[in-house]
Amino acid sequence: MDMIRNVAVNTVHNFRNHPFKVEVNMELCELMKSIEKEAAIWSGKTEVSVIIRELDDAQAVMATLDSNMHRKNLKPSAQ
């Protein structure tokens, strides 16, 4: 069952063997600037609301794939 809890920002991390990498580039920097005033880390929040799901690694990869299907300009990740 999914749970929603507040957790410390510095405890949020990728799951083991996460297949996608974040590529830091100009487009990402522009996006970061556009949301800077609302982003939790930059606004000084020490907790954020998250959805906690109990998934094994395969289920976590599938959930990530499903989530990324809605993104534009998604590039294949290099492993």
Query: Model-level pTM greater than 0.85?
Result: no
Based on its alpha-carbon atoms, the radius of gyration of the chain, rounded to whole angstroms, reads: 14
Write the pLDDT tens digit of every residue in 8-32. Answer: 888 888 788 877 777 777 877 777 6
Overall domain count for the chain: 1
12: in domain: yes
Q: What dihedral do alpha carbons 22, 27, 31, 36 form, nearest 10°? A: 80
59: in domain: yes
Write the pLDDT tens digit of every residue in 59-70. Answer: 988 888 887 777
75: in domain: no
User: For residue 19, what are the domain limits?
Assistant: 3-68
Q: Give 24's contacts (C-beta < 8 A, 6+ positions apart).
A: none
38: in domain: yes
